[in-house]
Amino acid sequence: MEKILRFLKNVSKNNNRTWFEKNKSTYLEAKVVLEDFLESFHRELLKFDNRLANLNPRKMGFRIYRDVRFSKDKRPYKINMGAGFSPKGKMEQEPGYYIHLEPGNKSFVAGGIYMPNAENLAKIRQEIDYNADTLLKILNDKQFKKYFKGLSNWDKVKTAPKGYPKDHPHIELLKNKSFTVSYPLTDAAVKNPKLTKDLALVCKNIKKLNDFLNEAIA
């Protein structure tokens, strides 16, 4: 994993096509390290989440090439490597697990559902309205709180969502537009030989949230 972090650090300093093409072999080596890691990580995930059984873990990584067509930032390459695991693939409109690798102690593992479409968002909010106690039990679980402080609060509406009163007892949960949790990873943690097993402990708790979300959007 050190090879990945070293490569990404170099990319952040030399984010141009000329440098990248000269160092393509180094990128391909880092990509193989990532795929080997994802294969090992997938084996750990399968120990508690068999919904992921049909995935090819080596295909779950995201491209390093940035889509700059509609962005003011024209840097051609991402300065991180990441992968998503969910039953249908890479967390498209379904709960799953996400791993983000970035040097400078910026890595993290996350899970839940990111920016669900209007239909799924409505279903999740309805489930919270009807069954908030189940979600609160998950969020307040002692083991869950060992890793997470609660749902990520960066993606919320400012007022009550349409159809819900401002004084709803669970209005702060209903305001969320994404339902995710995140656990930070230091560079030392990423380099640790026990990384996949350590991540599995975190993701085992993410599964509790994913189960609730899967029930909501089923």
Q: How would you write 57-113 as a 3-class SS string?
A: HHHCECCCECCCCCCCCCCCECCCEEEEEECCECCCCCCEEEEEECCCCCEEEEEEE
Domain count, the chain: 1
Q: Which two tokens stand for residue 98?
A: 């996400």
Q: What is the pLDDT of residue 205?
A: 97
Residue 208 CA to residue 204 CA, distance in Å, equals 7
Residue bearing the bigger pLDDT, 132 or 91: 132
| Banded model confidence at residue 37, pLDDT cuts 50, 70, 90 | very high
Q: DSSP state, 194?
A: T
User: pTM (2 decimals)?
Assistant: 0.93
Nearest 5 degrees, angle CA 168-CA 173-CA 178? 140
- Cα–chain-centroid distance for residue 213? 15
Per-residue confidence at 4, pLDDT binned at 50, 70, 90? Answer: very high
The mean per-residue pLDDT over the stretch 23-45 comes to 97
Residues in Cβ contact with 198 at an 8 Å cutoff, skipping those fewer than 6 apart: 189, 192
CA angle 150, 61, 114 (to 5 degrees): 30
pLDDT of residue 95: 97
User: Using one digit for the tens of pLDDT, what is the confidence trace for 49-84?
Assistant: 999 999 999 999 999 999 888 888 889 999 999 999
Range of the domain at 67: 2-217
The confidence band for 153, taking pLDDT boundaries of 50, 70 and 90, is confident
Q: What is the pLDDT of residue 154?
A: 81
